[in-house]
Amino acid sequence: MKKNILFIFLLASCSFNAIAGNQLVQQLKDKIIGLNRTPFFQTNDQYNLASVISNKGNTTDLSLRELYWNTYQQDSDLDKIIKTQQPDGSWKDIDYNDSSRSSWDPTNHVSRILYLSRAYITPNSKFYQQKQASEVIHMGLNYWFKTKPVCLNWWYNQVGIPRFMGLIFIFIENELSQKEKTEAIAVMNNSEFRLTGQNKVWLAGNVFLKALLINDENLAVRARDSIASEIFVTSKEGIQADYSFHQHGPQQQFGNYGLAFISSMAYYANVFGGSALAFSQNQMSILRNYIFDGEDWVVWK
């Protein structure tokens, strides 16, 4: 009898832990969706400035390009994305055989799906839960799954594409077929825990999105810990004692890796905030010091 009671207790404990874990994963998914429903830019002037900066020819600076990627496109832009998609899910103006190592053209395929999927999950958007928008999103995803474009630069394959795709997968998770989810996980498998500095943060962030997609709380916690492990002052890659930022050895990287670092950390501070995964007060203090004693002196507007 005692053994049976003990077995029932252990079974109930495991069930409770599973429920608690699922609750944390769902909380994090909801936070990500909520943050991405909020417009990054509130005025047309800000939107137009980001658009001009990003589209000045071959803009290779990642922070400038992400400034535009993180905006909310106008309805006319999204209408154009829908109307110009070809029957196979591709877009005619994108060079899917591009051999560039920066500003890789197929990235535009994924960013268009991201733009549309954001609008698709935003209640005040004209594209909210719109059937045609959903069809374009799925067609675009399945074209990518079928053709599997690969860039000569590892960053796009292991960081850039999974970053965008991971968000799309979370946004429309409930609409993914089993085949699509299998392909989605394969895309996210291109990222793993490795490297240092902002590269480490990017990769861990992708693993975090994968963890949410497969409802793996333990992996989500490991990814969070990998991200947070870069919030410290060091003489190696990362935040320096004078609150500058080094990447690729002793090189100043304020405007690219360093700016991407604080942008990422501000985002994750929001994602993890209010949960058991929130950054510590010491980590938040380091980030504040990095902004006010480092980035604030060199990044203009």
pLDDT level of residue 271 (50, 70, 90 thresholds):
very high
- List the structure tokens of 267: 């985002």
- List the structure tokens of 173: 């998770």
| pTM score, whole prediction | 0.87
Mean pLDDT for the chain? 87
Return d(Cα 73, Cα 127) in angstroms, integer.
12
Query: Does position 131 have pLDDT exceeding 70, yes or no?
Result: yes
Burial of 261 (0-12, 13-18, 19+ CB in 10 A): buried
**Residue 22's pLDDT is what?**
82
Query: Does position 217 have pLDDT exceeding 50, yes or no?
Result: yes
Q: Is the Cβ–Cβ distance between 265 and 287 less than 8 Å?
A: yes
Instruction: Identify the H or E element spanning 149.
Output: none
Dihedral of alpha carbons 160, 161, 162, 166, sign? positive
What is the average per-residue pLDDT within 255-282?
94
Phi/psi at 252 (nearest 5 deg)? -65, 130
Burial of 133 (0-12, 13-18, 19+ CB in 10 A): buried
Strand locations in 18-138 (E):
none
48-106 pLDDT tens trace: 666 666 555 444 566 666 666 666 678 888 999 999 999 999 999 999 999 999 889 99
Q: Is the Cβ–Cβ distance between 154 and 168 less than 8 Å?
A: no
**Residue 14's pLDDT is what?**
43
**Residue 239's pLDDT is what?**
96
Fold of domain 29-190? Glycosyltransferase (1.50.10)
**Residue 10's pLDDT is what?**
43
Q: Is the Cβ–Cβ distance between 294 and 245 less than 8 Å?
A: yes
| Furthest CA-CA distance within the chain | 76
Of 4 and 129, the one with more pLDDT: 129
What is the average per-residue pLDDT within 277-287?
97
Domain boundaries of the chain, sorted by first residue: 29-190, 218-301
